[in-house]
Amino acid sequence: MDQLQGKVASTTFALYLRSLPHSILTQGELLLGGGDPTLYKTPLTYVPLRSQQECLVTLGTLQVGTGHKSIGINQPALIDTGTQGLVIPPTHFDATLKAITDQASAAANFTVTCDYIPALGACVIDCHHIVYLPPIELGLGPSGNAP
Which pLDDT value is given to residue 24? Answer: 67
- CA pair distance 14, 73, nearest whole angstrom: 26
What tens-digit pLDDT sequence spans the chain (147 residues)?
566 566 677 777 777 777 777 676 778 888 888 778 888 777 878 888 888 888 889 999 999 999 999 888 999 988 887 777 888 888 888 999 999 999 999 999 999 999 989 898 888 999 899 889 999 999 999 888 887
Nearest 5°: the CA angle 115, 64, 77 is: 85
- CA pair distance 143, 14, nearest whole angstrom: 23
Q: Do 131 and 23 form a contact (C-beta atoms < 8 A)?
A: yes
Which pLDDT value is given to residue 1? Answer: 53
- CA pair distance 124, 112, nearest whole angstrom: 11
Which pLDDT value is given to residue 6? Answer: 64
Which pLDDT value is given to residue 3? Answer: 62
